[in-house]
Amino acid sequence: MTEDVSERVVELAKRRGFFFQSNGAYGGVSGFYTYGPQGATLKDNVEDAWRDRFAVAEGHMEVDAPTVMPEPVFEASGHLDGFDDMLVECPECGENHRADHLVEDDTEIEEAESVPTEEVEDLIAEHDLVCPDCGTELAGQPVEEFNLMFETNIGPGSSQPGYLRPETAQGIFVEFPRLKEYARNQLPFGVTQIGKAYRNEISPRNSIIRVRELTQAELEHFVDPEEDEPPLHRVEDVRVTLYPADEQEKEEGGYVETTVGEAVEEGILTNDWVAYYLGVAEPWYDRVGVDMDRFRFRQHLSGERAHYAADCWDAEAEIDGDWFELAGFAYRSDYDLSKHAEHSDEEFTLFKQYDEPKRVERATVDPDMSYLGPEFGGDAGDVADALERKAERDRAAFDGEDVTVETDGEEYAVPLEKTGFGVEEVTESGEHITPHVVEPSFGVDRTVYTVVAHAYREDEVDGEERSYLDLDPEVAPTTVGVFPLMDKDGMDERARDIAAELREDGHDVTYDDSGAIGRRYRRQDEVGTPFCVTVDYETLEAGTVTVRERDTTEQTRVPVEDLSETLTALRDGDRTFDEVLVAADAE
């Protein structure tokens, strides 16, 4: 990012208690941030707004899973083998850098993450890229894959290896056998989670945009791919700015300004479930304060799309000319549940009842244990179980001379004639199906940063320069600041009483009697407090207070008995400040 807003936001965030690098007393550790009093509340408010829209309003469940999980979970999910970033090491100073980021920063290539490793090496040489720290040329240096997982041990001694989760999703997937019971074994159902994830980033940067400990808000929506359809009619008129893959690949490609419904009809959005959640997310981002003129949905290029994702779109925001990801919307098919079924002893399916019983063909196996026993020893039973699962899920695997199955990370080839494979016709009342998964995954920290950066304003008030945050009352850390005009003649006691009454009515209140009244206004403006209430002599004499609005700095007088109701209406959007001004003038 350039200087400008980003640097000013980082400085304001540190000075006013939004967020700052952790462990400063010990020199700090890159990629770890502490949320101060203002930031912690702002972050909580963003999370509450997400929970309200994506969990409560959609009727989904919420869970809170552990952040440490055993190694087999990530063997099944593929994170141990495929959760990598590109690393290049400087031969002079020894610093490690994200190779794709170096390419993006110093070339016209926007999505180097989707470029193969060997091509990134060529781009580094072609563009004469150098180490950002010491200026040494990086041409000829190998670009290697670096796994981002944080490893740990569970228990003492010969302990069980484990990892800090790199995403909250696996904590939902591994509990599917129990969660489906809470959903009464009925599809579709969704499970949400807001929590910490950990990624050992090669080069954390841009404040809380790229960190090693992050907060995610994820929804895993389990659906029957043959029957369940999203309620697209609810979002079909939502206007969106789309950046499809084919437009990105054009020399002068551009955005598609359209509605969700039109994008589905024209085949731009090919998955209805992804389309639905883009339509839900667009107004939500507007609701929490993202500038929608600097917001888009970008489709993943083929090279950057996860192997399990049939389609994936990112919500992206722009700050100082740079675009970065806020959320991903992926159709993960049955990849996750199938993988955990293969690697565990649990069933990751649901029983789907037919309207009427019907005759169907069923693939069966009757493994020759006299062959499997001597051939595979103690693994023979697991191989037999794996053959049974394979027959249920992938009948075509039995078309060749050998059948390959996997158990505990090892592959075993079994001659077809030793599997006892056959197909029989039976009457069934239903079938076990593996649900597909639709996943909207939100980065909370990046959303918080964007909300602050997009809310940052500068103007001039009474001949003085002012900076303030134009935060929506729903997410602002404080709803109202309460001040006594002066700390005497009972004004301070009355102001404290009013602050306490407002807190009892559910308002987030800060009390401030330090310094000149103008300076107190400026402090609250800078942390985004929408309204300030001043207690003065007229309060003591006539029972009214001054209410000031942050953005315009306009003021009006409101009776104390109407204050809480007025602030509630303003906070909830039921009244505008202009309407309050008109009502005051009428009186």
The tokens for 452 are 């602050």
Q: What is the total count of domains within the chain?
A: 4
Domain identity same for 300 and 178? yes
User: Does 231 reside within a domain?
Assistant: yes
Same domain? 325 vs 209: yes
DSSP line for 23-42: -GGGT--TT-EEE-HHHHHH
> Looking at the structure, do residues 520 and 580 belong to the same domain, yes or no?
yes
- The Cβ of residue 309 has, within 10 Å, a number of other Cβ atoms equal to 19
What is the reported pLDDT for 4?
Answer: 80
188 in any annotated domain: yes
329 in Cβ contact with 313 (< 8 Å): yes
CATH number at residue 88: 3.30.40.230
| DSSP-derived secondary structure letter, 358 | E
User: What confidence score (pLDDT) does residue 587 get?
Assistant: 67
The runs of H, that is alpha helices, within 344-490 are 369-376, 380-393, 444-455
Whole-number pLDDT of residue 307: 63
User: Does the residue 73 lie in any domain?
Assistant: no
Domain boundary among 444, 467, 490: 467
370 and 419 belong to one structural domain: yes
Closest by CA position to 212, among listed 164, 173, 170: 164
Who contacts 401 (Cβ-Cβ below 8 Å, separation ≥6)? 415, 416
Q: Which helix (H) or strand (E) holds 394?
A: none
d(CA 281, CA 43): 18
Question: In the structure encoding, which two tokens stand for residue 137, read together?
Answer: 């040329």
Whether residues 500 and 456 fall in one domain:
no
Helices 444-455, 37-50: inter-axial angle, 10-degree rounding: 110
* Angle at CA of residue 323, ends 318 and 324, nearest 5°: 110
Residue 77 lies inside a defined structural domain of this protein = no
pLDDT computed for residue 209 by the predictor: 94
Q: How far apart are CA 153 and CA 75, in angstroms?
A: 16
DSSP state of 133: T
Q: Are residues 383 and 491 in the same domain?
A: no
Q: Is 334 within the bounds of a domain?
A: yes
The residues, ordered by sequence, that sit 6+ positions from 302 with a Cβ below 8 Å of its Cβ are: 114, 245
Question: What is the value of pTM for the model shown?
Answer: 0.85
Candidates 469, 473, 442; CA nearest to 454 is 469
Tell me the chain's radius of gyration from C-alpha atoms.
29
3-class SS of residue 467:
strand
In a domain, 516, yes or no: yes
Tell me, yes or no, whether 484 and 447 share the same domain.
no
- For residues 453 and 318, membership in a common domain is answered with yes
Is 387 within the bounds of a domain? yes
- Residue 104 is part of which domain span? 84-147
Q: What pLDDT is attached to residue 1?
A: 40
| Mutual angle of helices 4-16 and 444-455, in 10-degree steps | 100
Strands 544-549 and 555-559: antiparallel
Q: Are 274 and 282 in contact (CB under 8 A)?
A: no
Q: Are residues 48 and 91 in the same domain?
A: no
Q: What is the DSSP letter of 301?
A: P
Tell whether 200 and 282 lie within a shared domain: yes
Instruction: Quote the pLDDT of residue 2.
Output: 42
Tokens of 198: 């950990």
For residues 131 and 220, state if they share a domain.
no
Distance from C-alpha of 99 to C-alpha of 294, rounded to nearest angstrom: 27
Residue-level pLDDT at 358: 86
Domain membership of residue 572 (yes or no) is yes
Percent of the chain as helix, strand, coil, to the nearest 5: 40, 30, 30
- pLDDT, residue 558, reads 96
Sole residue written with tokens 């002066």: 486
Residue 336 is inside which H or E element, if any?
helix 335-343
Which of 130, 147, 164 marks a domain boundary?
A: 147
Are 236 and 97 in a shared domain?
no
What are the average pLDDT values for consecutive 10-residue runs of the chain, which has 587 residues? 76 96 93 97 98 98 97 91 86 89 86 84 91 91 89 85 95 97 96 97 89 97 96 98 94 94 97 98 98 97 72 95 95 94 91 86 91 93 92 89 88 94 87 95 98 96 93 96 94 97 96 94 97 97 96 96 96 92 77
- CATH number for the domain harbouring residue 532: 3.40.50.800
Which CATH number is 230's domain given? Answer: 3.30.930.10
Last residue of a domain, one of 432, 459, 492: 432
Lookup: tokens for 105: 């920063």
Residue at token pair 């989670």 = 193
